[in-house]
Amino acid sequence: MRRFLTMSIVTVATLAAVFGVLGVPSANADPNFSVASASTTPDPVTPGSTATITVSVKNSGTLASGIIVDMEVYNSGGGKVFQQYIPGNTFGAGETKTFQWFWATPANQAAGTYTVKVGVFTNHWVTLLLWANSADTFMVSPSNPGVAFSIGNISVSPTAIQGGGTVSISAVVTNTGSSGANGINVLLHLADPFGNDFANNQVVIENQSFSAGQTRTITFQWTAPGGATQGAYTVGIGVFNASWSQMYAWKNSPSAFTVGAVQNPTFTVGATGVSPNPVARGATATVNTNVRNTSGITATNIIILCEINTADGSTNITSQYISGQTFTAGQNRAFAFAFTIPGNLAPGTYTIDIGVFNGDWSKLYKWGFMVSSFTVQ
């Protein structure tokens, strides 16, 4: 198995230049994306506070998987000031999905009009399917700088408990505004190992006061139910006004602590084939494979990697992966990867490897070595 390279955030102009060189087709024939709605709250945004950017994206075409949804914020001079993207999305035919990002604006963020731009890409940023150049506009204005907050370090102790155990969760909260703030609500929100809400997953500390510039450590206590889902939990901390009508700041801490003995899923790689076989240089070869979750637990955020290698398996020619996959206990799923065979690739026999990883590539669950082969004419 070889080391993999991850792509850093790149600009749309750079991607457009790369597309012409790669010429790799999308595995999804006819997806058709549009931005159904986009909004930014609050508007105007006070420098030093958090803007919530909500975007709904609709696929009016066929099933599309491995989709990247990219959100970027630009100032009035055309300079990019913020970017986040969510990879590994699957859209059914006609499906609309809503995404949410949080921009913690710097305290010195310049006043003016800002534009939200939204891009939809195929896996690996290979093909641009949609670019909404002005999905939304909003103002940054220091005209009401009195109340603004930031959230610093989030800490949890202990970082592993059993069902029925208690964790202490602390967050450093700073009033970055120019005046005191009263009646502030601080919210603890927990998501289970599958990213879902559950009963009693929120704790609120109400009616807090902060003087201008004051930093305080807010501490929550949370007790896990006896039957709590085992795995890693995500902590979210939010700062709100007294009526909950405005969120000043929000920060997540993924996999902040675990409940119970964390069980890793197990996988097998099943029947794998290449079509057509043999394949001509410059033509498209499709690798069809099957991956089964052989464990008794649901596995989420799974990456499936497909590699084309030399006949002895020692040298990687090219690879693709599909991220964000979910397997129920015992589920077998089929995957297809479409490769354009380089026009200068030497004729001969080539082999296929299939890898199954967790969402950040830190764990290899299964490596299918030389599970298939094909001939390049």
pLDDT for position 6: 33
* Residue 95 belongs to a domain: yes
- 322-338 pLDDT, tens digit each: 988 999 989 999 999 99
CATH code: domain of residue 60: 2.70.50.60
**pLDDT-based confidence at 143, cuts 50/70/90?**
low
**pLDDT-based confidence at 356, cuts 50/70/90?**
very high
Give the residue, 352 or 256, on which the prediction is more confident: 352
Is pLDDT at 15 greater than 80 in this prediction? no
Distance between CA 365 and CA 272 in Å, rounded?
18
Is pLDDT at 27 greater than 80 in this prediction? no
Which of 259, 278, 304 is at the close of a domain?
259
Average pLDDT over residues 303-314: 89
Which of 233, 259, 285 is at the close of a domain?
259
Q: Do 153 and 96 reside in the same domain of the chain? A: no
pLDDT for position 24: 34
Q: Do 53 and 153 reside in the same domain of the chain? A: no
Q: Domain residues for 193?
A: 149-259
Average pLDDT over residues 121-137: 89
Q: Do 22 and 131 reside in the same domain of the chain? A: yes
Does this model's pTM top 0.75? My answer is no
Is pLDDT at 314 greater than 60 in this prediction? yes
pLDDT for position 111: 87
**Length of the chain, please?**
377
Q: Do 105 and 221 reside in the same domain of the chain? A: no
Whole-number Cα distances in Å, 158 to 77, 155, 163, 252, 297: 47, 9, 13, 18, 25
Is pLDDT at 4 greater than 80 in this prediction? no
Q: Do 83 and 154 reside in the same domain of the chain? A: no
Average pLDDT, the chain: 85
Q: Do 123 and 30 reside in the same domain of the chain? A: yes
Q: Do 305 and 234 reside in the same domain of the chain? A: no
- 84-109 pLDDT, tens digit each: 998 888 898 888 898 988 898 988 89
Give the residue, 23 or 247, on which the prediction is more confident: 247
**Residue 55's closest CA among 126, 162, 130, 163?**
130
What are the structure tokens assigned to 206, written together?
């109400």
Is pLDDT at 28 greater than 80 in this prediction? no
Q: Per the structure, how many domains does the chain have?
A: 3
* Residue 359 belongs to a domain: yes
* Residue 99 belongs to a domain: yes
Which of 211, 242, 259 is at the close of a domain?
259
